[in-house]
Chains A and B, each alone.
Chain A
Amino acid sequence: MRFVPALILTITALFLVSCSQDSPVSRATKQKVLLMGNTAEPRGLDPHIVSGVLENNIIRGLFEGLVTEHPSKDGIALPGVAESWGPTDPKNPIEWIFNLRKEAKWSDGVPLTADDFLFSFKRILTPELGSEYSFMLYYIIGAEDFHKGKTKDFSTVKVSAPDSHTLKVNLRSPIPFLPEITKHYTWFPVPKHIIEKHGKPEDRFNPWTKPQNIQSNGAFTLKSWKLNDHIEIQRNPLYWDTKNVALNGIRFLPISNSFTEDRMFYNEQLHITYTIAPDLIEYSRKNFKDMTRNEFYFGTYFIRCNVKKGPLQDVRIREALSITINQQDIIDFVTMGNQSPAAGIVPPFAGYNSPGNIKFDPERAKKLLGDAGYSEGNGFPKIKFLTTDRESSKRLAEALQAMWKKYLGIEISIQQMEWTSYLNTMMSKDYDLAAGGWIGDYMDPLTFLDMWIKDGGNNRTNWSNERFEELLGEAEKTAGQKERYEILGRAEKLFLDERPILPIYWYTRNYLIHNHVKGWDPLILDNHPYKFLDLVAD
């Protein structure tokens, strides 16, 4: 056993060597490089190809759209590539003009013009590219037809450049919140000259995003990209506002294990984590009190019901199941992230309050179940609860299973599946109940409501209602925000009364942030504009 002393010696040596060193965080703070957990390797950096949150985190650093986010206020647009913008007729915001800044440049010095935007819109809408999120541009007249291949003529899509620094967009219906939509990366410009240099624009595999090829227009440019290791972006000296950018760079780390991520933070290896493992939230609050954040997030967790199968065809049973979910207990003891009990499907945000009034009420539930012919749960068939293979999904499923057994006397069986099988089972409607969540894409109730139209790809419940779709159509034609919200509120109410889904909670985002990071304020969509951040050691 001679290696034992050797081992001790090595460990002591390591200890001595390292005692004098700074932690990775304090070194990075000095260099003004933000170390950020980003959960996984991105699927790519081409804004027209990807569709996820973690890709969004990186792309927002590299590219800038027409307008950008405010660092601390939701729903406010600050100038981006566009200096000024607005509808030609504020009463009927159907035609919009964006005036682009003259000094806007790509990181190689090539001027950025309205032509780059037209090129981008055309590229993302080209069917052959197969962009997943191209529907974000369907608001433009002709965009949907072009994307679905009904015409090959891009001039039918009503976007144009009256001159090289003006962009005109004609919408198929009035949309007062268009600037909010253009914050999404599907509306970002991509460098025409670079993409054409490296291949065909409509080729998905065009290698223009490789580190040696890519040029961008945002506050940062790509510095290095090592698969499953890191992506680092660095200050873009040609960015129009670079004198106001404090950070020199951001390093995104694809840490999929949230325990590892949190432990890296605890040991000063990260400035910001992507999330906190639920089982470490309390621990973090206790030990890293001022660094543990808990913020409202624009998402809802709920259970889909297959409304054309078994006992769940009966709305009374769906309601009974819904109101025997003790939402507060789930939040306090299972998810532990300070979420809020979901009274409806749309989370409350500025100007909109869900008309839903779902509350825990086991007495009423028992009565409803009795009315439906299963008093005390007698004769109720064993239904299946579909969920994912994650530990948190399982714990939630177990808690619900116990609640329904306790209050209604019914048995459900839990079916855990790995991700693609889970989605596939849900799509093929081979389930009774299925857990799932939804994160809003933009700040409007519609992002939670238009998915429930008949045969919508994300509906998956077999539920549909003509009146509901009429209301959505009516809202589309209404320009005034207040009236619009009122109509959408009626649609939500109708939807909730039918209860094709059982809401559980409105999301919060729990994460750890080092107190070196300055300028990071709560934002409901969580798109923090990096140009306003700073790193200062205390």
Chain B
Amino acid sequence: MRISLPTESELEKGSSLGRDAWARLRKNKLAMLSMCFIGLMLIICFIVAQLPFIDDPNEQNLENRFAPPSGDHIMGTDQLGRDLFSRILFGGQISMLVGFIATGVALLIGITYGAISGYAGGRTDAIMMRVVDTLYAIPFLVLVIVLKVVIAGPMEEQLKWMGRFANIVPLFFAIGALGWLTLARITRTQVMAIKEQEFVEAATSLGLSKMRILFRHIVPNTLGPAIVYATLTIPSFILFEASLSYLGVGIEAPNSSWGILIKEGADFLETQLYLLIIPGLFFSLTLFAFNFLGDGLRDALDVRASKD
């Protein structure tokens, strides 16, 4: 039996969080399967789409619209006679990007903001949360229209080198920058509960700096709900992008995204159901994968569960 006290760094570190988490994640078959699926989707959308035998997603053949799946068009053609498969591939690029970038931005801002607010408490917390309340109440549409005028226009010039992504990347940052509010509230509530627990008191009594306690000890414990919520925001961001396109601030037609394809497909519920079902399948399967992966991550990162 060792009697010597652990050093400060040993206490703080415990076992390596990242490595443990990965080991646990690998045991979760569903999560691993989901990860493979997402990888596959990424490959299909970003690499296969570049192959020469994939049709131009914007080439029209009006006489051949609503063509059922066939050798020429394996998923048929859309309302303007464009190849649905290649539209799904190219649309996938944009949907993946919006999912990753916007959610990343929202996570970063939301968790940091919520954690600081919850941990600081008192007046700081009150002010920070009232700011969130204020932002909540402002209609998204107004912000987005203003954003378009004030930011998107000038930024587009700067980003010309990104080619067809030039007018969408700033947009994705904007979506993330507007979508972190709920995340902040959730994190804050978690932090408030956790900061009263024994291990935090222990860390405080060891004289660790506040920042260190917050980001090394408390925040990792709040990641569970945050990651769950983040996986939920991916679909809402992807869909939100579709509605933005209708306000003239989304991606420029004839480019497409899964959200837009679904929205267009919804107009053919009575007549051409496949225009909704096929892109809908790609969309929902990918989202299923994101969510099961999110669950897996949540379980893997669950710090206390690891102490079994």
Other 18 A-B pairs with CB < 8 A, given A398-B80, A401-B254? A259-B267, A279-B268, A283-B271, A333-B80, A334-B80, A389-B248, A395-B80, A399-B60, A402-B254, A413-B252, A416-B248, A416-B250, A416-B252, A416-B253, A418-B145, A418-B247, A418-B248, A421-B148
Distance between Cα atoms of A228 and B81 in the complex (Å): 38
Chain A residues whose CB sits within 8 angstroms of the CB of B62 once the complex forms: 329, 332-334, 399
A333: B residues at CB distance < 8 A: 62-63, 65, 80-81
B245 touches A416 (CB 8 A): yes
Determine if A454 is an interface residue (Cβ-Cβ < 8 Å): no
Indicate whether B264 reaches chain A with its CB closer than 8 angstroms.
yes
- Asked if A402 and B58 make an inter-chain contact with CB atoms under 8 angstroms apart, the answer reads yes
> Is A414 at the interface (CB under 8 A from chain B)?
yes
Interface residues as binary, A419-463 with B (CB distance below 8 Å gives 1, 0 otherwise): 001100000000000000000000000000000000000000000
Q: Which residue of A lies closest to B263 (CB)?
A: A391
8 A Cβ contacts from B134-159 to A: 145, 148-149
Q: Considering the complex of A and B, which 3 residue pairs feature the smallest CB-CB distances, nearest first?
A: A417-B248, A416-B248, A333-B62
Contact of B254 among A259, A283, A398, A422 (CB under 8 A): A398
A219 in contact (CB, < 8 A): no
A397 to B248, CA, bound (A): 13
List chain B residues, Cβ under 8 A from A417. 247-248
Partner of A421, one of B58, B59, B145, B264: B145
Query: Is residue B79 within 8 Å, beta carbon to beta carbon, of the partner chain?
Result: yes
List the interface of chain A (C-beta within 8 A of B): 259, 277, 279-280, 282-283, 329, 332-334, 389-391, 394-395, 397-399, 401-402, 413-418, 421-422
**What's the Cα separation between A280 and B272 when bound, in Å?**
11
- Complex CA gap A277/B245 in Å reads 20
Quick check: A389 and B59 within 8 Å, CB to CB? no
Say yes or no: B253 contacts A394, CB within 8 Å.
yes
Q: Which B248-279 residues sit within 8 Å CB-CB of chain A?
A: 248, 250, 252-254, 264, 267-268, 270-271
| Chain B positions 10 through 28: 1 when the CB is less than 8 Å from some CB of chain A, otherwise 0 | 0000000000000000000
Of the residues A279, A415, A416, A418, contact of B271 by C-beta under 8 Å? A279
Tell me which of B145, B148, B270 contacts A283 (CB under 8 A).
B270
A401 and B270 CA atoms in complex are apart in Å by: 28
| A397 and B270 within 8 A (CB) | no
What residues on B are CB-neighbors of A390 within 8 Å? 246
Q: In the complex, are the beta carbons of B248 and A395 less than 8 A apart?
A: no
Assembly CA distance A283 to B79 (angstroms): 15
Q: How far is the CB of A117 from chain B (nearest CB, A)?
A: 44
Interface size grouping (class) on chain B: 20 to 34
Q: Please determine whether B80 and A422 come into contact, CB atoms closer than 8 angstroms.
A: no
User: In the bound complex, what is the Cα–Cα distance between A390 and B253 (angstroms)?
Assistant: 12
Residues of B within 8 A of A259 (CB): 267
Closest Cβ–Cβ distance, residue B192 to chain A (whole Å): 35
Q: For B247, list chain A residues within 8 Å (CB).
A: 389, 416-418
List, in ascending order, chain B residues with CB within 8 A of A401's CB. Answer: 253-254
Interface positions of B from 208 to 255, Cβ below 8 Å from A? 245-248, 250, 252-254
In the complex where A279-B268, A333-B65 touch, is A402 in contact with B59 (Cβ < 8 A)? yes
Contact A391 to B271, CB < 8 A, known contacts A402-B80, A414-B253? no
Which of A283, A399, A414, A421 meets B80, CB within 8 Å?
A: A399
Cα separation A153 to B34 with both chains bound (whole Å): 80
A417, closest chain B residue (CB): B248
Q: Could you tell me the distance in whole angstroms from the C-beta of A487 to the nearest C-beta in chain B?
A: 40
> Would you give the shortest CB distance from B141 to chain A, in whole angstroms?
8
Chain B residue, CB-CB nearest to A405: B58
Given contacts A399-B60, A399-B62, contact A414 B267 (CB under 8 A): no
B253: chain A residues at CB < 8 Å are 394, 397-398, 401, 414, 416
27 A–B contacts, CB within 8 A, in A order: A277-B267, A279-B268, A280-B270, A280-B271, A283-B270, A333-B62, A333-B81, A334-B80, A394-B253, A395-B80, A398-B58, A398-B80, A398-B253, A398-B254, A399-B60, A399-B62, A401-B254, A402-B59, A402-B60, A415-B248, A415-B252, A416-B248, A416-B250, A416-B253, A417-B248, A421-B145, A421-B248
Which residues of B have CB within 8 Å of A329?
Answer: 62
B window 37-73: CB within 8 A of A: 58-60, 62-63, 65
On whether the beta carbons of A416 and B246 are closer than 8 Å, the reply is yes
Known contacts A389-B246, A399-B62, A402-B58; is A414 also within 8 Å of B252 by CB?
yes
Contacts of B149 in A (CB 8 A): 421
Chain A residues with CB below 8 A from B271, complex form: 279-280, 282-283
> Which listed residue, B60, B145, B254, touches A414 by the CB 8 Å rule?
B254
Which single residue of chain A is at the shortest CB-CB distance from B148? A421
Chain B residue at minimum C-beta to C-beta distance from A401 = B254
Residues in B neighbouring A422, C-beta threshold 8 A:
248
- Nearest-neighbour CB distance to chain A for B262, whole angstroms, equals 13
Chain B residue with minimal CB distance to A280? Answer: B270
CB of B264 within 8 A of CB of A391, answer yes
B residues 90-113 near A (Cβ < 8 Å) are: none
A402 CA to B250 CA, complexed, in Å: 20
* A395 neighbours in B (Cβ, 8 Å): 79-80
* A422, closest chain B residue (CB): B248
Collect the chain B residues with CB atoms within 8 Å of residue A397's CB. Answer: 253
User: Min CB distance, B160 to chain A, in Å?
Assistant: 12
Minimum CB–CB distance for B241 against chain A, Å: 14
Closest to A259 in B: B267
Alpha-carbon distance between A312 and B302 when the two chains are bound, in angstroms? 63
CB distance from B242 to the nearest CB of A (A): 11
Q: How far is the CB of B190 from chain A (nearest CB, A)?
A: 31
Which residue of A has the minimal Cβ distance to B141? A418
A389 to B242, CA, bound (A): 12
Nearest-neighbor residue (CB-CB) of B272 within chain A? A279
- Determine the chain A residues whose CB is within 8 A of the CB of B59 once the complex forms: 402
Chain A residues with CB under 8 Å of B65's CB are 333
A279–B60 CB distance below 8 A = no
Chain B residues whose CB sits within 8 angstroms of the CB of A418 once the complex forms: 145, 247-248
Q: How far is the CB of B32 from chain A (nearest CB, A)?
A: 30
Write out the residue numbers on chain B whose beta carbons fall within 8 Å of the beta carbon of A416: 245-248, 250, 252-253
In the bound complex, residues from chain A placing their C-beta under 8 Å from that of B246 are 389-391, 416
Chain B residues near A394 (CB-CB < 8 A)? 253
In the complex, A153→B152 CA distance in Å?
A: 52
User: Most chain-A Cβ atoms within 10 A of its Cβ — which of B65, B145, B252, B254?
Assistant: B254
Q: Report the Cα distance A334→B65, complex, angstroms.
A: 10
Chain B residue contacts of A283, Cβ below 8 A: 270-271
